[in-house]
Structure formats: C-alpha cells, structure tokens
C-alpha cells in the first residue's frame, strides 16, 4: 500500500478552484519529483498535504496516509501528523530571528513529552547529521543560507517522518550548496526510509534525484514519467518546454580567438590590475561611533584580468567568494583598497565617474523586483541613463534647442528601439513595471543597459532569480545581442551551466582570489582547482552530460 | 472601491465641514464671539444661542467657530515645519556616504525628541514669553525628529533596491536620486505620518491653550474654553461638553483619513500566497 | 553585552549633556537678560542689578553653564526666586505626587493595552476585534484633559465615587492617596492605552504573517503555540518602542492632568513657576523632566537588548 494516496484532491479559494482533482500516490521511501513553472500550484499542493492552507482556502477530495484518510481542513487533526509523519522544508529557511537554533529544534520534540536532556541530545544529533556543529546556541542570522537550510532539514527530520515535502528547497542557494543540500536530504531519507516529495521549477536540478516525476500546470497534473531518464520520457507540450528550458547548450567555442589573428588585435577594453578590497572588521555600519577597529577583512586580493573587445568573460564562484564586491568595483560604485581598473584606455575614476566612462559601461542586476522605480513609466526607466548624457557623447542623436540635451522625440525613439531589440512591444513604454513578469523585467533591464550604446555590460547574476524557462529565453537574448552589437560583457554567476552557455572565457573566484582562468571549454574539460571541480560537479543539469555524449 | 477609500471619504467630509465652518467664521458667525452679556451668562442651548452661552454671556457656537482657524492652522503650520525640516534631514541621514553625519543627525534628533511638545512650549515661553507662535514652534520642533526618523527608515528600506544603484551608475547625483526616486516612493508613508502628526498637533494645541501657553486668553480657542468651563463645572456642566466634542470629532476625522491611507499602503492584500497571508 | 551597555550609556550621557545645554541656552542665553525677564518691565534698574549679581549674570555664559551644571551634579538646582527655597526641595516634594501618578498611569496603560491588543490581534476581523479597534479610535481622539473633566463630572460630581481633585498628602494614608490619583491616572492612561493597544494588535498580526511562524506550524505547533512561542517576543519589539515614547507623553501629560485635578505635583509647580517668571525653578523642572524622558528611552534601549539577543551580541 502506498504511503500517500491522493484521490481527486482539489483546493479552492473562496470557491475559486486553485487545484483541480489531483490524484497520485507516494510510495514509502521513494523520491517523487513535482515540477512546474511558477504559479502552477506546486506550493499550494504542499501546503494542502500538510493541512497548512491559509485562511480562505479549503481542500476537498481524499488523501490517505498509510491507508487512513486525512482531514486536511481540520487543523487539530493535522497537527498530530505535522512534524511527526510529515515534515516540510521551504525555499526560504525561515527561522525565528531572536531564538537560538537549539531552542527552535528542541521545542518540537518537547511536545512529544521527551525530557529536556533527551530533546537536547536528539537535537544535537540531528544537527550533527546535517553536518553542523557548535550551532546550538547561535542565532539564525549568524548562519549562511545553506547552513540555515541544513537546520531546516535537521528540524524536519527530527522525528524521522514518513514523508518529507521539500518545496524548492535549494532555489535560493548557489549551485554547489544546492548539490550538497540535495545529497544530504537523499542520504537522510534513505537512512530513515523517508519518502521525499521534491518540488521545483527546475527540471534539470531534480530529474537525476527522483525515481518518478509529475508535471503540474495551472493546478492540474498533466504529465508523469518514471526513472531512468524520466525527463526524456515526458510527452506533454508543456513538459517539453520545461525540458527545453533545462537544457543550456554550451557556447560553440569559436568566435573571438578565431577572428583572424593577421589583423591587428585591438587593445583590451577593460583591464583590472592587482585589485584588492578590504573592509574594517567590525562592519556593523554606524555602530562604531566612538572608535575604529584596525582589523581588516580582506574580501578581494590580487585580482588581475583583461576583457577583450567583443568578448564575453564569465566570473564564477560560490556565494561568499567575492563576486558581488568585484562587481561593485568594476562598476565604479566603490573604490578598491589597492589596484586600478582601466576602461578603454583610461583609468576608471571611482565615486564620480566621468560621463564618457559612464556611457561606456552599464549593468544588469539580479533581482527583477527591486531593479525599477515602481512609480516611473517604462520609458522613463529605460531613458534614465540617456537623459543624464550630454549630447556630445551621443553624436547620432538630434538635439533640442537647449544645446546640451537630447530631444524628447529622440529619446522616445531610442527607447522604442531598445524595447524592440529586447523583444518587447515598443508601445509598452507607457506602462508601469508591475505589469511585467520577471523575465520581461530582465528584458527591460537589458534595454536600459543598452540605451547609451555602451561598450561593456556587466551582468551581475542577471538570470539567477528567473525560473528555468525565462532564464533560457533571456540567455538566448543576451547571446544574440552581444553578437549583433559587438558588445563586450562580464557575466557574473554562481552557476557554471549559465556561464558555459554564454561566455568565451571564464575566471573562477574562490576566497577572494582568481584561482583559475581560461577558455570555457578548457576549464570544463580540464579543471585544475578544487573550487572549479566543485562548481562543475554541481551543475544541475543531467542533460548537459547527455549532450556531451551526443557530441 | 479601493481599500480605505470609505474612511478617507467620511473623514474628509467631516474635516471639510469643520474647515468650512472655520472659514465661514472669518466672515460670519451666529453672534459676536467676543461680545459679553453678563445678564445672559451660562444659558442653556436655545433658539437664540444654539449651544448656549458661557460665563460672560458669549455665544458658545460662535466662539467654537471662531477658534477653528487658529487651532487648525497652528497644528498645520507646526506639522509643516516638522515635515520641511525633518524630511531632508532624514534623506540625508539615510543616503550620506559618511556614517558620522548620519549618526550626528540621528543623535541630534534624539535630543529634540527628548522635549515633548508641552515641555518644549514651556521652555520657549520661559525664555521668550507666550503667544500662538509658541505652540507652532513647539509642535514644529517636536515633529522634526519624527519626520527625520520616518524618512530615514523609509529611505533605508528603498536604498537596497537596485534601481538606486542603476541610477547611481547612470550618473545621477545623490540629491536627484533622493528627489526623483526615493521621495516619491516614500511619499505615501510620509503623508500618512503627517496626517497622524496633524491630529496630534490639534490635541497639542488644545492642551497648550488649556494651560494658557497658546493664544492670548481673550482669543477664542477650544482648549481655553475648556479651561474656563472647568471652574464652573458644578454650575453649568454643559459648557465643558461642546468644546471637547468638537476636538474629539476633529481628531477622529483626521485619524479616519489616516486609517484609510494606512489601509491603502498596506501591501498585504496584494498576493494570495506571498508574505501577505497569516500563517495560522 | 558589556559593550552594548557601554555604548548605550555613552549615547545616553551625550544626549543628556546636549539637552541640558539647549535648555540653559534657551532660558538664560538667547533671550537676553534673564534678570529683567524675572523682575518684569516695571522693575528698577537697581533691583535688576542686584538680581544680576545674585545670579552671577555678569559672568560669561560658558562659566555660568558650568556652574549651573556642576551644582546640579551635586544636587543643587539653585534657589527658587519666588519661593526663596532651594529648587530641589520643592521638586522633591512635588515628585512624590507626579512620579506615583505617572507610574500608576503606566501600569494602567500596559494593563489595558497589552491584553486587549493581544486579544484583538489574535482574532483579526472578528466582531470583538472590530469593537476593540473602534473603541481605541475614540480613545486616541480623546484629549486627556477633556476626558479628565468628563471623569470628574461623572464619577466625582454625579456619582460621588471618587474625589474630584486635590491631594491631602501621603500622610493621610496610601488608600486615600491612591483614591485621589485614580481618576487622574485613568484620564492619562486611556488615550495612551488606545495607542499602545493598536500597536500591539498590529504587531501581532504582522508577526503572524512571518515565514518562521509557518515553520513553527509545520513543526506541529498549534496556532496559539506558534504565536505565543515565536510571535509574541517579536511583536514586543515595536510595542516597546512606542511604550518608551509614551512614558514621556505620560510625564508631559501629567502636567496638564495635575492642573485639571489640582494635584500639587510637578506640573502645577512648573505652570506657577512660568507664570511667576521664576526662571531658576522652571529651568530645573524642565531639565528634570527631559532627563526623565531621556532615561526612559535609555532603559527602553536596554530592554531591546533583553528581548532581542541580536543586539547584545559581541561583534566580531
């Protein structure tokens, strides 16, 4: 008999259907994958199974746990199962910020009438199992995201539940940590014969982890497949798009090096030399009113590299490697402690970058939800860098009577062109940002980056918050734009698969230093440094390994 | 109807009526608010004097109306001083690249904050003598750190948004970023705070004139009328009721508007499954 | 923890210093000649000169400030000009009424606001919640001095349950004293309690939406357990902020309420002092009140540390 038997499980919000007639089984000890684009209703299913539907939502249909029907809408009845038979791990490792880790772990045990010492021992053991020691008395904010997710798993596995529901458990983590967390979950589940319901939008990430796969779309289960190679057995058109999105092809190793060596090679566009960045050790900004500590935390050390004309250079590293600091230095938002950056033959001046250099450099950032002023129209958002440019720097643009400003018509025209270039309707310039999806927002961000016709664009985790489908599309767009406009780019990411799909060369950052640099294919085929090997191993893409075989 | 709209409309209508009555008093009142008639003192409400007369025989309704412009404008100007002074300081405190300046502004605000309106008014009166301007200044000074704190907190909340970084990268000056990006996005928050402070300002003005620290004793004022009525509480309790009711209704109307604004600002209802739902 | 305490203490002392400077400047330096102010326009030049000598007004402002603040540090607040008694003696007498009154009001505020706020906050949208919220709207709009007048009208003059005002001193018995302070304390507390109640309610509702509450629920805690074990302490942080401010409003509010109820407290004393232009006494009382306000916010800061362990952590 299956562990979970769901029959015609539906969820409605004020009579409006959210999930419609889901029927599926989960066998004891198996790992079942549940895949779907964002908004497909995956999280709602997880909450419904736990009996944790928010106010206003109600479930119908039958769900049996070990043959006994569950009363999903009865909080008290479901409470007997939560944390004991069934546990839940969320995307965000949300812990009470003002309670220490130990207390939050033991409290669930205390309700099972274990003594305080027993609870302490069980909690310590659970923490040890997830590879954490000495965290019992620490507060959540002193742990990294990955460590917090380990705590969440320890908490979920405390009572050795029969079912662990993991709702996008690794989406907010970098790829290396992702891999570790998934392995850890699998391992613990095996030891305790716990079944896992693994929910994700990323087919590549989970297709190798699971024995069976369900695909959801618009609140219904539309497809299913069994291992091995379950991803390839999916037939529904929507599954196909998910599958396509999961496959990031490697960039054909050709272009810049191949451009005829006979012609004079243009000088590098951007040169970084011996960059170093340190912060005062007590970085608790503002607290330090009465004294200054002399201790320094060195974030970056000895960073030297060149970006050639027309090249896309990847910068990869685990979280905490110093990527975002380096990005801020390259953008001139912060000054390095030591070293210099040269942009198109001129040294980059930090703090007040001259207009000329501003035009040459632009950026696309990670979070599509905080990247735009919600009160400005798309036209104003995209045009912002342009309106700050004196006309002399945009020679092709017609002026107004006022000598040094670009005319509104020219701006409108430029915005329309930029929108077309990123595949959006030019008339959308009069709309506001809340009307656009995450993928469209990143397109708008790219349009803004293109508007001053820059020479270098820095993409700082530009596709990391997108679901796999929009990620795929945006990456295609970026590749195409870089080629048609002969742009140079630095592409920062924690995900080597993304880098591989788009960059000619890669540098690997670890512990604030560049530990490896070279052509993308070389790095992939012959990684030298341990950090690079970790990153390659963590690529969440079974299909890449397949494509390797194909080629 | 949008959330909070009904509160804003009801509060607005009531407050509007009070403001109109105040404006009307500038050209017409049912009787001369200053004319004494000792033989008709402490009358109960009647057709001749709708709310009765006070201990000097002056018409209470006329005095209430005549007091309205002063009270409302004192509170309004006071809050405006706080707004105009506090918002730029708060933006500076949040955006300055030098933590020391931010620290000094915040600590300076704390010093101002240590003087409640009443104590501030007493301090000014002790040094410079009384008058309606004392109330304005006291309310204004007290509100500067209030707006400083709210603005700083709001601006810090915005400053992690990467659109600020993009603007910086495009070469926008910090001042323009503050004006074009941050201020419009925290403006609703500031308007909400201003409406709350306005209602507190009305209460404070009434309290100050009750103690005789506001307008001069002969000028009609809500607080003063209450103070006068109190000595006669045993004889004519109705004198104390009318001014109090006017104050309560005014403050309630402003608070209702504020409540409506707050509900509009509340991002809770925006999505079904996001942070908005109570997990219970 | 030690560093947290030291840092807060430094800020506390610095604020106190700047505030004292501001008070002294506002009363004695900026307006011009304090002796002339105290004696009024009709005073003879000789009398003014005599007072200037008595008050050492011929010295520089800095030296006078140092002498003033130095004296205060030793408990000497100067000699009240109208009463010809040390200001500290007058103040001490009056504090015996004002402090108990403020404390009484504070206890009432907390006693009313926290339970009702928690009750309403855990039942958002129910009839009971709406009723409490509506009542608190009225409470906030209530000017405390008018409310005081109404209380006198109803409970003292009409029902005769409690005294209408005045104070016979604590010698007359604690019960008697408390009876005289009850109506004033209610008048002070109810508007403040309405504010605090709404903050408490809002904070609880807000914490109930946090993801860690969901985590706690997934662990198997019931709604109430999750809220009480994880929501309450987090909700107390904003409540504490407001409470810290409110204590200063209670102290300031006591000035008005004492005048309504004719309680011979600090509030009555300062109004008299201002009317009689007794600058020495005024200055002393204002400094004391401001010091009280600053001390309260210092204590609030320390309490934050007690509730939120993140704040007292030793920074690496």
Packing angle of the helix pair C2-24, C279-307 (nearest 10 deg): 160
Residue A533 has pLDDT above 70, yes or no: yes
Can you give the pLDDT at residue A547? 41
Residue B273 pLDDT grade (very low, low, confident, very high; cuts 50, 70, 90): very low
Give A360: exposed, middle or buried? Use CB within 10 Å, 0-12, 13-18, 19+: buried
Q: What is the pLDDT of residues C120-138, one digit of tens each?
A: 988 888 899 999 998 998 8
Q: What is the pLDDT of residues B23-46, one digit of tens each?
A: 888 887 777 777 777 777 667 777
- Among the listed residues C282, A289, C307, C196, the one whose alpha carbon sits nearest the alpha carbon of residue B110: A289
Q: Please, which residues have CB within 8 angstroms of residue B118's CB and are 6 or more apart in sequence?
A: B138, B204, B207, B208, B211, B213, C252, C253, C255, C256
Cα distance from B191 to chain A (closest Cα, Å)? 16
Model ipTM value = 0.83
Can you give the pLDDT at residue B4? 77
Contacts of A375 in chain B (CB under 8 A): 184-185
Contacts of B280 in chain C (CB under 8 A): 208, 213, 217, 223, 226-227
For residue A198, give Cα distances in angstroms to A44, A207, A235, C211: 14, 10, 20, 20
Residue A292 pLDDT grade (very low, low, confident, very high; cuts 50, 70, 90): very low
Q: What is the pLDDT of residues A231-243, one digit of tens each?
A: 778 888 888 888 8
Residue B248 has pLDDT above 80, yes or no: yes
Can you give the pLDDT at residue A281? 57
Contact status, residue B183 vs residue B122, Cβ threshold 8 Å? no
For residue B219, give Cα distances in angstroms to A346, A517, B31: 71, 82, 15
Express as a percent the part of chain B with pLDDT over 70: 90
Contact status, residue C77 vs residue C284, Cβ threshold 8 Å? yes
Contact status, residue B79 vs residue B198, Cβ threshold 8 Å? yes
Cα A551 from chain centroid?
28
SS3 C177: helix
Q: What is the mean pLDDT of residues B242-262?
A: 88
Q: Which of residues 218-277 of B touch C (CB under 8 A)?
A: 223, 226, 229-230, 233-234, 237, 240-241, 243-244, 247-249, 251-252, 255-256, 259, 268, 275-277
Q: What is the pLDDT of residues A332-342, one digit of tens each?
A: 888 888 888 88
**Mean of per-residue pLDDT scores for chain A:** 83
Residue A459 pLDDT grade (very low, low, confident, very high; cuts 50, 70, 90): very high
Higher pLDDT, B32 or C144: C144
Q: What is the mean pLDDT of residues A319-337?
A: 86
Higher pLDDT, A540 or A27: A27
Of all helices (H) and strands (E), which one includes residue A32?
A: strand A31-35
Distance, CA of A122 to CA of A158 (rounded, Å): 7
Distance, CA of B39 to CA of B53 (rounded, Å): 11
Distance, CA of A74 to CA of A88 (rounded, Å): 18
Express as a percent the part of chain B with pLDDT over 90: 20
**Mean of per-residue pLDDT scores for chain B:** 82
Q: What phi and psi, each to the nearest 5 degrees, are found at residue B12? A: -65, -40
Distance, CA of B21 to CA of B62 (rounded, Å): 10
Label the pairing between strands A163-167 and A195-200.
parallel
Distance, CA of A152 to CA of A165 (rounded, Å): 12
Residue for token digits 């301090």? Answer: B123
Q: DSSP assignment, residue C265?
A: S
Q: DSSP assignment, residue C86?
A: B
Count of residues for chain C? 316
Can you give the pLDDT at residue A549? 36
Distance, CA of C106 to CA of C137 (rounded, Å): 20
Residue A416 pLDDT grade (very low, low, confident, very high; cuts 50, 70, 90): very high
Q: What is the mean pLDDT of residues A470-486?
A: 89
Can you give the pLDDT at residue C313? 63
Contacts of C157 in chain B (CB under 8 A): 233-234, 237
**Mean of per-residue pLDDT scores for chain C:** 85
Q: What does the DSSP assignment read for A102-152? A: HHHHHHHHHTTT--HHHHHHHHHHHHHHTT--S-TT--GGGS-HHHHHHHH
Distance, CA of A64 to CA of A80 (rounded, Å): 14
Can you give the pLDDT at residue A319? 81
Chain C adjacent subunits, 3+ CB pairs under 8 A: A, B
Cα distance from B159 to chain C (closest Cα, Å)? 22
Q: Which residue of B has its CA nearest to C227?
A: B280
B102-107 long-range contacts (CB < 8 A, ≥24 apart) are: B102/A286, B102/B152, B103/A286, B103/A289, B105/B148, B106/B148, B106/B152, B107/C11, B107/C14, B107/C15, B107/C18
CA atoms within 13 A on the CB side of B245: 10
Q: What is the mean pLDDT of residues B156-176?
A: 84
List residues in chain A touching C: CB distance below 8 A.
Answer: 50, 52, 75-76, 79-80, 82-84, 87-88, 90, 92, 94-100, 104, 107-108, 111, 139, 141, 152, 155-156, 281-282, 284, 287, 289-290
Residue B250 pLDDT grade (very low, low, confident, very high; cuts 50, 70, 90): very high
Lowest mean pLDDT: which of A104-108, A113-117, C52-56, C71-75?
A113-117
Distance, CA of C259 to CA of B38 (rounded, Å): 27
Q: What is the pLDDT of residues A345-399, one digit of tens each?
A: 888 877 667 777 788 888 998 888 888 888 889 999 999 888 887 766 665 665 5
Q: What is the pLDDT of residues C161-179, one digit of tens each?
A: 888 777 777 777 788 888 8
Distance, CA of B211 to CA of B232 (rounded, Å): 17
Q: What is the pLDDT of residues C27-72, one digit of tens each?
A: 877 777 777 777 777 778 888 888 878 777 778 888 888 888 888 8
pTM for the whole thing? 0.82
Residue A456 has pLDDT above 80, yes or no: yes
Higher pLDDT, A23 or C54: A23
Residue A447 has pLDDT above 90, yes or no: yes
Can you give the pLDDT at residue A378? 92
Can you give the pLDDT at residue B268? 45
Can you give the pLDDT at residue B86? 94
Contact status, residue A121 vs residue A136, Cβ threshold 8 Å? no
Q: Which residue of B has its CA nearest to C276?
A: B126
Q: What dihedral angle (degrees, nearest 10) is formed by the CA atoms of A52, A53, A56, A61?
A: -120
Q: What is the pLDDT of residues C96-124, one digit of tens each?
A: 899 899 999 999 999 999 999 999 988 88
Beta strand spans in A191-328 (E): 195-200, 212-217, 220-226, 270-280, 296-307, 312-316
Distance, CA of A184 to CA of C131 (rounded, Å): 51
Count of residues for chain A? 551
Encoded tokens for A506? 């890669």
Can you give the pLDDT at residue A67? 87
């Amino acid at each position: 008999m299956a562990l979970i038997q769901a029959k015609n499980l539906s969820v409605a919000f004020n009579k409006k259907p959210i999930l419609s007639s889901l029927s599926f089984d989960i066998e004891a000890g198996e790992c079942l994958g549940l895949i779907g684009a964002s908004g497909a209703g995956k999280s709602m299913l997880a909450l419904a199974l736990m009996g944790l539907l928010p106010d206003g939502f109600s479930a119908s249909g039958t769900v049996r746990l070990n043959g006994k029907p569950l009363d999903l809408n009865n909080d008290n009845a479901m409470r007997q199962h939560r944390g004991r038979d069934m546990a839940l791990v969320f995307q965000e490792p949300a812990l009470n910020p003002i309670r220490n880790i130990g207390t939050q772990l033991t409290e669930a045990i205390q309700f099972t009438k274990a003594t305080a010492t027993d609870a302490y021992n069980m909690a310590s053991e659970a923490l040890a199992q997830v590879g954490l020691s000495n965290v019992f008395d620490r507060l959540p904010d002193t742990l990294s995201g990955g460590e917090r997710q380990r705590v969440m798993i320890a908490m979920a596995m405390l009572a050795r539940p029969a079912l662990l529901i993991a709702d996008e458990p690794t989406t907010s983590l970098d790829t290396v940590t992702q891999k570790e967390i998934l392995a850890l979950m699998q391992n613990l589940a095996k030891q305790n014969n716990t079944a896992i319901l693994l929910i994700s939008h990323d087919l590549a990430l989970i297709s190798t982890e699971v024995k069976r796969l369900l695909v959801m779309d618009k609140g219904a289960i539309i497809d299913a497949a069994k291992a091995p190679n379950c991803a390839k057995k999916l037939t529904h058109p929507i599954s196909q798009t998910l599958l396509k999105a999961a496959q990031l092809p490697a960039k054909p190793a050709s272009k810049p090096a191949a451009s005829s060596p006979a012609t004079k090679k243009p000088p590098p566009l951007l040169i970084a030399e011996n960059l170093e960045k340190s912060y005062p050790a007590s970085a608790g900004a503002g607290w330090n009113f009465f004294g200054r500590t002399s201790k320094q935390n060195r974030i970056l050390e000895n960073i030297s590299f060149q970006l050639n004309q027309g090249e896309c250079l990847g910068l990869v590293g685990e979280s905490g490697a110093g990527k975002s600091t380096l990005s801020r230095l390259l953008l001139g938002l912060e000054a390095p402690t030591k070293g210099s950056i040269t942009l198109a033959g001129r040294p980059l001046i930090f703090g007040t970058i001259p207009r000329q250099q501003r035009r040459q450099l632009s950026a696309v950032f990670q979070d599509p939800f905080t990247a735009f002023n919600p009160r400005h129209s798309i036209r104003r958002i995209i045009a912002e860098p342009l309106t700050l440019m004196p006309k002399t720097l945009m020679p092709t643009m017609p002026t107004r009577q006022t000598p040094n400003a670009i005319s509104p018509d020219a701006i409108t025209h430029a915005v329309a062109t930029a929108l077309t270039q990123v595949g959006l309707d030019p008339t959308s310039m009069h709309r506001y940002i809340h009307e656009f999806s995450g993928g469209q927002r990143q397109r708008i961000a790219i349009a803004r980056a293109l508007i001053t016709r820059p020479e270098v664009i820095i993409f700082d985790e530009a596709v990391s918050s997108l679901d796999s489908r929009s990620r795929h599309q945006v990456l295609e767009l970026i590749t195409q734009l870089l080629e048609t406009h002969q742009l140079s780019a630095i592409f920062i990411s924690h995900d080597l698969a993304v880098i591989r799909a788009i960059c000619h060369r890669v540098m690997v950052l670890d512990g604030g230093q560049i530990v490896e640099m070279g052509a993308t294919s070389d790095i992939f085929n012959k990684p030298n440094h341990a950090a690079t090997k970790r990153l390659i191993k963590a690529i969440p893409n079974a299909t890449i390994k397949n494509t390797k075989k194909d080629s | 109807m949008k959330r909070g709209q009904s509160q804003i409309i009801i509060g607005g209508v009531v407050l509007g009526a009070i403001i109109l009555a105040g404006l009307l008093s500038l050209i017409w009142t049912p009787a001369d608010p200053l004319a004494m008639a000792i033989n008709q003192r402490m009358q109960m409400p009647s057709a001749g004097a709708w709310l009765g007369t006070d201990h000097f025989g002056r018409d209470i309704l006329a005095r209430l109306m005549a007091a309205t412009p002063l009270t409302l404008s004192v509170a309004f100007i006071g809050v405006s001083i706080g707004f105009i002074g506090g918002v730029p300081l708060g933006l500076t405190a949040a955006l300055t690249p030098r933590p020391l300046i931010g620290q000094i502004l915040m600590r300076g605000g704390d010093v101002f904050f240590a003087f409640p309106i009443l104590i501030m008014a007493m301090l000014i009166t002790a040094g410079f003598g009384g008058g309606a301007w004392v109330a304005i200044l006291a309310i204004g000074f007290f509100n500067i750190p209030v707006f400083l704190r709210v603005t700083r907190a709001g601006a810090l909340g915005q400053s992690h948004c990467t659109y600020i970084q993009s603007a910086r990268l495009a070469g926008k000056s910090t001042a323009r970023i503050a004006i074009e990006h941050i201020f419009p996005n925290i403006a609703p928050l500031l308007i909400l705070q201003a409406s709350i402070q306005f209602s507190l300002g009305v209460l404070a003005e009434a309290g100050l004139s009750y103690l005789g620290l506001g307008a001069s004793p002969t000028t009609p004022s809500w607080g003063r009328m209450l103070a006068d009525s109190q000595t006669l509480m045993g004889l004519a309790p109705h004198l104390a009721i009318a001014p109090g009711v006017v104050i309560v209704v005014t403050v309630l109307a402003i608070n209702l508007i504020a409540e409506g604004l707050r509900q509009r600002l509340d991002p809770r209802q925006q999505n079904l499954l996001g942070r908005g739902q109570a997990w219970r | 923890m030690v560093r947290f305490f030291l840092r807060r203490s430094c800020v506390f002392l610095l604020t106190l210093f700047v505030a004292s400077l501001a008070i002294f400047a506002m009363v004695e330096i900026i307006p011009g000649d304090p002796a002339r102010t105290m004696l009024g326009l009709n005073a003879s030049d000789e009398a003014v000169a005599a007072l200037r000598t008595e008050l050492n007004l011929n010295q520089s402002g800095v030296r006078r400030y140092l002498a003033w603040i130095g004296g205060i540090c030793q408990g000497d607040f100067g000699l009240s000009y109208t009463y010809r008694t040390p200001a500290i003696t007058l103040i001490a007498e009056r504090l015996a009424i004002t402090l108990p009154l403020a404390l009484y009001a504070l206890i009432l505020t907390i006693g009313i606001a926290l339970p009702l706020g928690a009750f309403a906050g855990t039942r958002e949208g129910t009839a009971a919640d709406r009723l409490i919220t509506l009542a608190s709207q009225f409470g906030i709009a209530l000017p405390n001095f008018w409310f005081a007048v109404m209380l006198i009208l109803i409970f003292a003059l009409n029902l005769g349950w409690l005294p209408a005002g005045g104070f016979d001193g604590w010698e007359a018995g604690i019960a008697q004293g408390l009876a005289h302070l009850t109506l004033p304390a209610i008048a002070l507390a109810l508007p403040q309690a309405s504010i605090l109640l709404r903050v408490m309610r809002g904070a609880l509702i807000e914490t109930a939406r946090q993801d860690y509450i969901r985590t706690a629920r997934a662990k198997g805690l019931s709604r109430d357990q999750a809220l009480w074990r994880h929501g309450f302490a987090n909700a107390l942080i904003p409540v504490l902020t407001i409470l810290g401010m409110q204590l200063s409003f209670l102290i300031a509010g006591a000035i008005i309420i004492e005048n309504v109820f004719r309680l011979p407290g600090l509030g009555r004393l300062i109004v008299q002092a201002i009317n009689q232009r007794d600058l020495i006494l005024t200055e002393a009382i204002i400094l004391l009140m401001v010091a009280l306000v600053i001390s309260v916010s210092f204590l609030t800061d320390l309490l934050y540390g007690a509730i939120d362990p993140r704040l007292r952590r030793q920074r690496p």
